[in-house]
């Protein structure tokens, strides 16, 4: 794309970078807590801890890569650069699935969350009315993101600040006035799940940690990304890990549990804050906060509203992320060039935004069918063992995240070996020094541990989720078919990579990011490497 074409605007500040990630990850716990408690029961804290440790590895990997390669595209670009065009497409396509589901799932759940505050009103809403409201939210988010990232970021940052304060207060008051260690021990002993249920809970726990991708997507629009991204990412990693482990232990140690069956007869263990049936499992934070002594008297009124807003801005992150990935893939000739078109006035990838908001609307139709049509409900029961629309969205969300993160870990290892010249202002710890192709490199142990962890969660998802086992791989297969058609039409190699001048590309990336010192360091590293190679020749 020529320099005369409009470019993405660098308008994301340090707090904006944090809020893009927090608005996604922070909202996940509002849905993930109840889902994980429903399946993992007395082992929910272990499920969150396992997923949280994997998340730390993911966060460290993304922090290093986003600071070294600050471009729109995030994990897709890292995999493209480390593993080549084909795997770059597969990783990007999986992330596109995640962000598209993000739009639908969180727009849907933001409406549902309000039912805790306004049950008489929302209980009377007809399914078609609910569907229309969610569809309208998707349309509003589409328009917001076309107008510009600065306006969108301001929206995210304000709500993120309020929620950080709120979630911290709930934890502090909860552990101070309501938590009882003996109840935690009793619950873990009496409500320990089966191995299958624990795998289900763990696979769902990973959706509480999806969001660091949003920081990477905003890297090309972040001011001084190599300096800002490491700080915001590390703070986000610590914040979300504390919340996830803290809330799961608080929930297990507040009230005794009792057995319950869902509407389809499936045995589930529900905490007493989930009365009646499993419909309340998506409101975990609202239900928990209402039971906190003293503070709950206030929290029961504002937390449902705050949760609904935070879920809405998480859907907003989905719009932002999917459009930036499509933009990046288009510039790399993995998707048609139409996706890299920038709106002349607003300087945003409008075509990508409209396309993936449209796909989110299509996913909404499929997810809402069980509520809108009895025949669809029967089909879901027959083929997917009673899983409803929200479970369908959660399955795909977990599948997309686990697939893309698995590729990112491999790409990190590949880039450490193949591109040691790029300056890394942040580097994940615990590395093994070695030599590769005549250059001194550092092999990342954390990347290996993280890959084993996230690949295990991917296997858990495929084993325990009927819809995820079918729809997830189907999305990848359809994407590969479309990729082959596009590449064949452009006379580009199908499995091999087209020629890339990564040296020039990296210089361009660092110059556009304003990281001139790193650019000079990169050139010095390249010069020294070339001199060593010439000296080694006979």
**Residue showing tokens 């729109």:** 72
Q: What is the pLDDT along the chain (538 residues), one digit of tens a residue?
A: 444 454 444 445 566 667 666 766 777 788 788 878 888 888 999 999 999 999 899 989 988 998 899 886 778 889 999 999 999 999 999 989 988 988 888 888 888 777 777 665 454 456 777 788 888 889 988 887 887 655 555 666 777 788 888 889 999 999 999 999 999 998 898 889 899 989 988 988 887 776 666 666 555 556 667 677 777 778 888 888 898 899 999 989 987 765 544 444 444 444 444 443 445 555 678 778 888 888 888 988 888 888 888 888 788 878 887 887 888 889 889 999 888 888 777 777 888 899 999 999 988 887 777 666 666 556 555 555 445 566 677 778 888 889 999 999 999 999 999 999 999 989 999 999 999 988 899 999 999 999 999 999 999 989 988 777 888 899 999 999 999 999 999 999 999 999 899 999 999 988 887 888 999 999 999 999 888 888 877 7
pLDDT of residue 78: 92
Residue 107 to residue 138: CA distance in whole angstroms: 7
Q: Of 326, 356, 320, 357, which is closest to residue 136 (Cα–Cα)?
A: 357
Neighbour count for residue 344 (Cβ, 10 Å): 9
Cα separations in angstroms, 457 against 243, 337, 342: 20, 34, 37
- State which residues form the domain around 198: 36-444+470-500
Residue 323 to residue 100: CA distance in whole angstroms: 10
Look at residue 242 and tell me if it is in a domain: yes
436 pairs with which residues across the strands? 439
**Residue showing tokens 């589901």:** 101
Domain count, the chain: 1
Look at residue 162 and tell me if it is in a domain: yes
Residue 329 to residue 95: CA distance in whole angstroms: 11
The encoded tokens of residue 436 equal 């590769």
Q: Is 258 helix (H, G, I), strand (E, B) or coil?
A: strand
Residue 285 to residue 188: CA distance in whole angstroms: 20
Radius of gyration (C-alpha) of the chain in whole angstroms: 23
pLDDT of residue 198: 92
Cα separations in angstroms, 129 against 113, 133, 134, 136, 340: 16, 6, 9, 10, 35
Look at residue 1 and tell me if it is in a domain: no
pLDDT of residue 88: 94
In angstroms, how far is the first alpha carbon of the chain from the final one?
Answer: 41
Look at residue 15 and tell me if it is in a domain: no
DSSP string, 270-295: EETTS-SSGGGGGGHHHHHHHTSTTT
Residue 320 to residue 324: CA distance in whole angstroms: 6
Look at residue 12 and tell me if it is in a domain: no
Q: Who contacts 474 (Cβ-Cβ below 8 Å, separation ≥6)?
A: none
Look at residue 369 and tell me if it is in a domain: yes
404 pairs with which residues across the strands? none
Q: Is 222 helix (H, G, I), strand (E, B) or coil?
A: strand
Tell me the pTM. Answer: 0.83
H-state helical runs in 178-295:
181-190, 195-205, 212-217, 225-252, 284-290
Whether 39 and 235 have beta carbons less than 8 Å apart is answered as no
Which CATH number goes with the domain that contains 286?
Answer: 1.20.1740.10
Q: Report the run of H or E that residue 259 belongs to, with start and end.
A: strand 257-261
Whether 397 and 98 have beta carbons less than 8 Å apart is answered as yes
Look at residue 93 and tell me if it is in a domain: yes
Q: Of 48, 457, 26, 53, which is closest to residue 250 (Cα–Cα)?
A: 48
Cα separations in angstroms, 385 against 84, 261, 371, 378, 476: 39, 14, 16, 10, 23
Whether 32 and 203 have beta carbons less than 8 Å apart is answered as no
DSSP string, 339-364: GG---TTT-S-HHHHHHHHHHHHHHH
- DSSP single-letter state for residue 260: E
Residue 308 to residue 412: CA distance in whole angstroms: 36
Look at residue 362 and tell me if it is in a domain: yes
Whether 95 and 213 have beta carbons less than 8 Å apart is answered as yes
Cα separations in angstroms, 72 against 225, 250, 327, 333, 459: 11, 38, 8, 14, 29
The encoded tokens of residue 179 equal 């938590």
189 pairs with which residues across the strands? none
């Amino acid at each position: 794309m020529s320099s005369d074409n409009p470019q993405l605007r660098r308008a994301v500040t340090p707090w904006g970078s944090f809020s893009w990630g927090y608005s996604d990850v922070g909202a996940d716990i509002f849905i993930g807590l109840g889902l994980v408690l429903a399946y993992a029961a007395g082992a929910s804290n272990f499920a969150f801890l396992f997923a949280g440790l994997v998340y730390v590895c993911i966060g460290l990997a993304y922090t290093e890569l986003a600071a070294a390669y600050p471009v729109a595209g995030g994990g897709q670009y890292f995999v493209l650069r480390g593993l080549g065009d084909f795997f770059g497409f597969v990783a990007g396509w999986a992330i596109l699935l995640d962000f598209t589901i993000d739009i639908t799932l969180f727009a849907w759940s933001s409406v549902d969350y309000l039912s805790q505050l306004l049950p008489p009103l929302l209980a009377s809403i007809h399914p078609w009315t609910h569907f229309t409201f969610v569809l309208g939210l998707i349309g509003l988010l589409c328009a917001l993101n076309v107008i510009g990232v600065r306006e969108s970021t301001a929206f995210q940052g304000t709500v993120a600040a309020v929620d950080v304060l709120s979630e911290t207060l709930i934890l502090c008051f909860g552990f101070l006035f309501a938590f009882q260690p003996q109840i935690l021990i009793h619950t873990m002993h009496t409500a320990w799940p089966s191995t299958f249920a624990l795998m289900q809970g763990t696979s769902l726990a990973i959706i509480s940690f999806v969001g660091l991708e949003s920081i990477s997507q905003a890297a090309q629009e972040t001011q001084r990304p190599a300096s800002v991204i490491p700080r915001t990412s590390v703070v986000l990693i610590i914040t979300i890990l504390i919340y996830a482990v803290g809330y799961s232990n608080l929930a297990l140690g507040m009230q005794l549990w009792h057995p319950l069956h869902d509407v389809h007869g499936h045995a589930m263990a529900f905490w007493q804050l989930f009365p009646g049936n499993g419909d309340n499992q998506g409101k975990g934070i609202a239900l928990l906060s209402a039971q906190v002594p003293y503070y709950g008297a206030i929290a029961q009124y504002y937390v449902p509203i705050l949760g609904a807003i935070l879920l809405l801005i998480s859907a907003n992150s989905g719009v932002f992320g999917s459009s930036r990935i499509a933009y990046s893939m288009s510039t790399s000739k993995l998707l048609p060039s139409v996706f890299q078109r920038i709106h002349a006035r607003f300087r945003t990838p409008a075509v990508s935004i409209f396309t993936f908001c449209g796909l989110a609307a299509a996913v909404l139709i499929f997810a809402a069918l069980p509520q809108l049509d009895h025949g669809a409900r029967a089909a879901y029961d027959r083929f997917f063992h009673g899983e409803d629309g929200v479970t369908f969205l959660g399955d795909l969300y977990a599948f997309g995240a686990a697939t893309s993160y698995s590729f990112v870990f491999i790409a990190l290892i590949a880039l450490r070996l193949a591109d040691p010249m790029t300056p890394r202002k942040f580097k994940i710890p615990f590395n093994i020094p070695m030599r590769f192709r005549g250059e001194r490199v550092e092999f990342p142990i954390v990347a290996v541990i993280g890959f084993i962890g996230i690949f295990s969660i991917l296997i858990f998802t495929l084993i325990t989720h009927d819809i995820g086992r079918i729809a997830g791989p189907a999305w990848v297969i359809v994407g590969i078919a479309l990729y082959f058609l596009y590449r064949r039409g452009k006379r580009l190699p199908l499995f091999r990579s087209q020629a890339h001048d990564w040296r020039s590309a990296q210089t361009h990336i660092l110059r556009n990011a304003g990281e001139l010192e790193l650019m000079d360091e990169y050139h010095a590293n390249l010069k020294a490497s070339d001199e060593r190679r010439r000296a080694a020749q006979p």
